[in-house]
Structure 1
Amino acid sequence: MIHLTLIIVDFLTGLLAAGAWALASAGGVIAVVVGGGFLGVSLFRRWRRKP
């Protein structure tokens, strides 16, 4: 019975770790996309100001 409990706890811990990693990587991708968008807009505005 103790072994089954350990297996379940290990499984749940693994799910939590995988979920946290997926959330962190998705957040990183979103941050890169948003940052790239802001960089592109600022460069476009700077380019448009030049005569």
Structure 2
Amino acid sequence: MIHLTLIIVDFLSGLIAAGAWALASAGGAIAMVVGGGVAGVSLFRRWRRRG
């Protein structure tokens, strides 16, 4: 019975870790897209001012 409980706990903790990793990587990708968009807009405004 103890072995089964350990297997279940290990499985659940693995799922939680995988979910946290997926959330962190998705958050990083979203931050990259948003940061790239902000940088692109600021560069575009500078370019229009110069021209």
Q: TM-score, normalised by structure 2?
A: 0.98
Root-mean-square deviation (CA), in Å? 0.5
Distance in 1 (alpha carbons) for counterparts of 2:50 and 2:25:
38
Distance in 2 (alpha carbons) for counterparts of 1:39 and 1:50:
17
The CA deviation at 1:8 is 0.1
Q: TM-score, normalised by structure 1?
A: 0.98
1:4 and 2:7 aligned: no
Structure 2 stretches of 5 or more lacking a match? none
Equivalent residue pairs, number: 51
Give identity over the alignment, percent: 84
Question: What stretches of structure 1 move > 4 A for 4+ residues in a row?
Answer: none
